[in-house]
Amino acid sequence: MTASPAVAAPASLGAPGRPAWLTDLPVLLVAVVWGGSYLAAKGITTGSTVLAVLILRFAVVLPVLVVAGWRGLRALTAAQWRGAGLLGLVLAGVFLLETYGVVHTSATNAGLIISLTMILTPLAEAAVTRTRPPRAFLAAAALSVTGVVLLTQGGGFTTPSSGDLLMLLAALARTAHVLVMSRIKAVRTAGSLSLTTVQLGSAVVVFALLAALSGSGGGAAPWEAARAFGVREWAGLLFLSVFCTLFAFFVQMWAVRRTSPSRVSLLLGTEPLWAAAAGIALAGDRPGVLGLFGAILVLGGTSWGRRAADEGDR
């Protein structure tokens, strides 16, 4: 469950002679913790505590982001505040769909279905710009979709769960977030730190409003959820806040200035592999032979699609 996409800064290759793995390793660690985030969220969240957990998760990191980027926040123009606020509304939808989705499906399914964003985003971009994607990319997209169908039918051809459908909607929402970001001119010149801080702040406002509205409907308040947390729940929340949000964001900003954005994207693209590994090894997910074959198709299709899209851009 990604924190929020950083705006890629112009890349430089860093100090001459610096081993590439010194930059690659922290980025790969981000992919690993993101892969584990689905299992962590599933372990501390129920249908009635989704909003409370989201508020607590970002309330932990927002003060740090505000302090670290105070100068950049003060320099934002009114148009940049509006653009970042709009992106925050879309991001709130992404997190809501992902978190409700992971409550109602397995961590393995969640991580693999959300990886379809890598296929959906270029397809949506092609539709908006009215350009035809390369045939190889279309074939990769078909392979990925087939894989998701098989993955969600691991026990036989049954109706996909509500969680699977919510994760698919989350992948669509992630795609919308990327497209909106690329089309709001004002945010293109905003710093990554300032942009992410405003987005997360806007998302927390949405979560707080929804929590206030649903308070009478049985949804747990953030302080009630926090009071009920034990050591395991607090460890999961801090993992989501500190590692999956704060650490991940700063590593992205650091890495894109020392290597190419495509290399960063390639390493982060291994997230679904780690999600599946965490689900199978730690949560006892058993997708079955059919599900495992589907997972292989999803991983292969998204990897092939990413390469085909890059070749098409070149």
* Arithmetic mean of pLDDT over the chain: 84
Is residue 63 pLDDT above 90, yes or no?
yes
- Residue 259 and residue 273: Cα distance in Å, rounded? 23
Q: pLDDT tens for residues 263-282? A: 676 677 778 888 888 888 88
Reported as a pLDDT band with limits 50, 70 and 90, residue 123 is confident
Number of neighbours of residue 301 by Cβ within 10 angstroms: 24
- 167-184 tens-digit pLDDT: 999 999 999 998 888 888
The model carries a pTM of: 0.83
Asked whether residue 126 carries a pLDDT value surpassing 80, the answer given is yes
Q: Which range, of 23-32, 219-228, 266-275, 277-286, averages the lowest pLDDT?
A: 266-275
The mean-pLDDT minimum among 119-123, 132-136, 251-255, 308-312 falls in 308-312
What is the rounded average pLDDT of the residues 21-31? 85
State mean pLDDT over 210-237. 85
